[in-house]
Structure 1
Amino acid sequence: MGDLSQMLPIVLLFGVMYFFLIRPSMQKQKKERKYVAEIKTGDKVVTKSGMHGKILSLNDDGTCIIESGAGKMKFERSSLSMEMSVKLNDNKLIKK
């Protein structure tokens, strides 16, 4: 019984770390992968570096061509920011 009472705080610590640190991170990654997979031509997006633009084409090699004020640029799909793109599109819907 003494060994079990000594191990209980350690087990609880790992349980709390899982539910507050690891699980939310995994869920966020899953949402980002789903967002990147569902992007289509014509969507307005923001890259993680802050570049705003519209998707012109999606390539099979994991890249996309984005048209912005500076011209056409090629980016990796993983460089698109889900959070900032969703905020951009929500603000456009609210203003209309």
Structure 2
Amino acid sequence: MLFDNLAFAMGGAAGNGGAQGNPLGAFVPLILMFAIFYFLLIRPQQKKAKQHKEMINNLKIGDRIVTNGGLYGTIVRMKDATVIVEIADKVQVEMLRNTVADKAEAFEKLEKKEK
């Protein structure tokens, strides 16, 4: 008997039809999660990609670069989508511009700070 009364008391009010609060209240957490993801993940990644594209477009002959594979070299010739890089005396390789990680100066500064 006690459990019947308890179950009845925990049930919704009769005739209420399971009325809920504001339907937008359910979407507020999702909107907040999207905003957090945007400002902490998506936006910084887009900014970094834009800076990398700008750096690639501003490369010129004579620039010292570092590739994504970790090779240091100097640009000796440039084509539309590729660059020819001298990685040692009389050793030149042709690579895609997108494989250039950054200019060598940025990495050399990091190496000096670590020492």
Under a length normalisation based on structure 1, what TM-score does the superposition of the two structures give? Answer: 0.84
**Cα RMSD (Å):** 2.4
| Residue identity opposite 1:63 in structure 2 | T
1:84: Cα distance to partner? 5.7
3-state SS in 2 of match to 1:81? strand
Q: Bigger shift: 17-26 or 64-73? A: 64-73
Q: Which has the higher helix share?
A: 1
Unaligned runs of 5+ in 2: 1-20, 111-115
Matched, 1:63 2:79: no
Aligned residue pairs, count: 92
Q: Which residue of 1 aligns with 2:39?
A: 19
Contact 1:66/1:73 (8 A) holds in 2: yes
Contact 2:65/2:103 (8 A) holds in 1: no
Unaligned runs of 5+ in 1: 92-96
Under a length normalisation based on structure 2, what TM-score does the superposition of the two structures give? Answer: 0.71
Matched, 1:3 2:23: yes
Whole-angstrom CA distance in 2 between matches of 1:22 and 1:29: 11
1:82: Cα distance to partner? 1.9
Q: Which residue of 2 aligns with 1:50?
A: 70
Whole-angstrom CA distance in 2 between matches of 1:10 and 1:52: 45
Q: Computing the radius of gyration over CA atoms, which structure comes out larger, 1 or 2?
A: 2
Contact 2:67/2:99 (8 A) holds in 1: yes
More RCO (CA 8 Å, sep 6+): 1
3-state SS in 2 of match to 1:27? helix
Whole-angstrom CA distance in 1 between matches of 2:99 and 2:56: 10
1:87: Cα distance to partner? 2.0
Q: Which residue of 2 aligns with 1:79?
A: 99
